[in-house]
Amino acid sequence: MLSILYVCKNKISMAKDTYKKFPAPKLELDYSGKTPPFSEELEETVLGQLMLEDDAISKVLDDVSSDTFYNKKHQIIFAAIAKINARLEPVNIQTVIEELRRQEQLDIVGGAYTIAQLSQKVSSAAHIEHHAKLLAQKFIQRELIRVSAQIQEKAFDPAIDVDELVDFSESEVFKVAEGNIKKAAAPISMVLDRALETIKNAQNNQNKYSGKPSGFTALDGLTSGWQKGNMIVIAARPAMGKTAFVLSMLRNMAIDFNLPVAMFSLEMSNEQLVNRMIVSEAELDHYKIKNGQLTENDWKNIYDKTKRLATAPIFLDDTPALSIMEFRAKCRRLREKHKIECVFLDYLQLMTTSNPASREQEVSMISRQIKAVAMELEIPIIALSQLNRSVEMRGGNKRPQLSDLRESGAIEQDADLVLFIHRPEYYKIEVTEDGEPTKGLAEIIIAKNRHGAVDDVRLEFIPELTKFTDRNYIPPLNENLLPEGTNMDNFFETQTFGSKMNQSSTLETPKFDTTIETDIPY
C-alpha cells in the first residue's frame, strides 16, 4: 500500500512540474464573465493549411502574426513557420518538426504527432486568406476587450490626468483599428517586399519625388519631397519669414498638388493666416489690404484668385497653448476623417505638456512626441522653431547653426531634417560670398538630413506679398498696372523662350514696348 501511495505521489508531483513548465492556455475572463473570442478549430485549420503549400504563408502575413493565435502552443508553431519562411526554406510537416526540435520546443506543443495531426485535419490550402481574416477579427475583438479594460481601470484612478487618459484611449483604439498592436519583431524577409514595393512606386512616380512635394523645385530636388514618418524642423530668427515660408509651402501642396494638409498655429489666428494667404494668392501689397485701400479691380482680383483657396483641402487650427496630447488627438482625427498628408506646426516652443518639469525637459518631451505622431500616422510633420540670440551676436555672415536651436538639444536629435531660413539682406549684407545680390534672396540651409545630403537652396522672398517662390519668379501681370484704355483682347501674343531644363516654355508678353512701374520690388 505504501509503495502504491509513493508512486501516486510521484506521479502527482511530476504532473505539477509538467504543468508549471508547460501551462495550458488560460481563458481570461472579462468583466461580464465571458471568455475572450477565439476558435481552437480555426487556429488549427490555418496552421494545417500553412504546412500544405510553400507559398501559403505569404498570403496571410499581412493579417496574421504569432499574437493573432490565442492558444500558446499555436503561437509557438506559427513562430517556427515564420522563421522557416524567413530563411526561404519550404514549409511542411517535416521542416516544422525539425525547427521546433532545434529550438527545444517540440515537446511543448505536443510532439511530432500534434504537428502531423494539424495537417491531416485539412485537405488543401484553399480559402486560407479568408480563414486568416476570420482569425484576425477574433484577435481584434480580444484586443478591444483588453484595451477597454485598461481604459476602465485608468478611468477609476483619480490621480491620472484626464488629457492623458483621453490620449491613451485614442492611441490604443487607433492602434487596434490600424492593426498595429504590439507587432513582434519582423524578420527582414517580411520587410523586404514592402521596401522593394516602395522603390518600385518611386520609380513609377511621374514627379520623381518619393515624398510629398513642397512646391519649391530646388528644395524638392534635394530632399525628394517630405518623407512619411519624418519630423522636419524649420528654424529661424524672428522676421526671417518662417510663417510665410510654411504658408507658401502649404499653399503649393494643397492647390498645386491637391494634398490635404493641416496647420496648427499657436502664434497667429486663423483669420490672420488666411489674410496672409489672400495677399500671396491675389498678388496684392499687404499694406493695401491691411489699410483697406482696395479698388474695385482689387476686389475682383481677390475674388478671382482666392476661389482655389476656398476649395483647397486645407485645415486650420488656432487653439492657443495647444498641449501635445491635444495635438496628437487632433492629428489622429484629421488623418482618419480627412486623410491629411502633411501637418504644419507654428511653433514648437509654444506647445505645452500636462506635467511640465524643467523647460528643457518639457521641450524635449514635446519634440519626442511630435516625432512619435509622425511615425504613428505615417505623415511628415513640419514644425517651426525659434533660434536663440547667439545668431545676432555672431559676426560675419550670421548663418545659423544647429547649436543655435533654442531651449533643447533634443530637437536636433529627434528631427530627420533641420532647415534654417537665412536672409542676408536683413543683416545689411548686400552681396553673397559668390557675388550674387542679396535683395529678395532667401537661403534655405539644410543643416541636418538623416536620409540625404546637406546643402543650401536659394529661393525668392517677396516681403510685400509675404511669399516665397523659386528664383527668377515671374509674377502674373496685374491688369490694374496697365495703361488706361488698353484692349486686353489683343494685348498678348505667344512667344517661346529656352528654359533651364532645355525645354521650350511658353510665356505671354506685351506687344508694345512699355515700361510698367510698380512699387513691388520683384
Residues 3-41: tens digit of each pLDDT: 433 434 443 344 344 334 444 444 444 445 677 888 888
Q: CA 202: distance to chain centroid?
A: 17
Residues 502-521: tens digit of each pLDDT: 333 333 333 333 333 333 33
Whether the predicted pLDDT of 407 surpasses 80: no
Q: Is the pTM of this model over 0.85?
A: no
Q: Which of the residue ranges 84-98, 223-237, 383-397, 413-427 would you say has the lowest mean pLDDT?
A: 383-397
Whether the predicted pLDDT of 382 surpasses 90: yes
What is the rounded CA–CA span in Å between residue 207 and residue 128? 39
The vertex-170 CA angle with 169 and 176, nearest 5°, equals: 95
Task: pLDDT band for 83, please (50, 70, 90 cuts).
Answer: confident
What is the rounded CA–CA span in Å between residue 199 and residue 388? 40
Q: Which helix (H) or strand (E) holds 418?
A: strand 417-422
**Higher per-residue pLDDT: 342 or 490:** 342
What is the rounded CA–CA span in Å between residue 322 and residue 352? 6
Report the candidate in 263, 274, 262, 353 with the shortest Cα–Cα distance to residue 306: 274
Report the candidate in 254, 258, 227 with the shortest Cα–Cα distance to residue 375: 227
CA distances from 62 to 57, 66, 193, 232, 416 (A): 10, 12, 12, 30, 28
Residues 304-342: tens digit of each pLDDT: 878 888 888 989 888 887 888 788 888 888 888 899 999
- DSSP conformation letters of 28-73: ---TTSPPPP--HHHHHHHHHHHTT-TTTGGGTTTT--GGG-SSHH
What is the rounded CA–CA span in Å between residue 54 and residue 89? 8
Contact 244, 387 (CB under 8 A): no
Beta-carbon count within 10 A of 361 CB: 14
Looking at residue 387, what DSSP letter applies? B
Whether the predicted pLDDT of 235 surpasses 80: yes
Measured N-to-C along each axis, helices 162-178 and 324-338 cross at an angle, to the nearest 10 degrees, of 30
User: Which one of 267, 412, 425, 464 is the catalytic residue?
Assistant: 267
What's the pLDDT at 199? 66
Residues 106-123: tens digit of each pLDDT: 888 888 888 888 888 787
Q: What is the 3-state secondary structure (H, E, C) of 64-117?
A: CCHHHCCCHHHHHHHHHHHHHHHCCCCCCHHHHHHHHHHCCCCCCCCHHHHHHH
**Higher per-residue pLDDT: 246 or 386:** 246
- DSSP conformation letters of 201-253: HHHH-TT--SSB--S-HHHHHHHSSBPTT-EEEEEE-TTS-HHHHHHHHHHII
Report the candidate in 387, 382, 386, 377 with the shortest Cα–Cα distance to residue 345: 382
Task: pLDDT band for 379, please (50, 70, 90 cuts).
Answer: very high
Q: Is 493 a catalytic residue?
A: no
Contact 78, 47 (CB under 8 A): yes
Looking at residue 175, what DSSP letter applies? H
What's the pLDDT at 21? 44
Contact 72, 190 (CB under 8 A): no
Pairing of the two strands 342-346 and 381-386: parallel
Measured N-to-C along each axis, helices 72-86 and 111-120 cross at an angle, to the nearest 10 degrees, of 80
Report the candidate in 211, 277, 216, 209 with the shortest Cα–Cα distance to residue 243: 277
Q: Mean of the per-residue pLDDT values for the chain? A: 75
What's the pLDDT at 264? 92
User: Which value, in Å, is the radius of gyration of the alpha carbons in the chain?
Assistant: 31
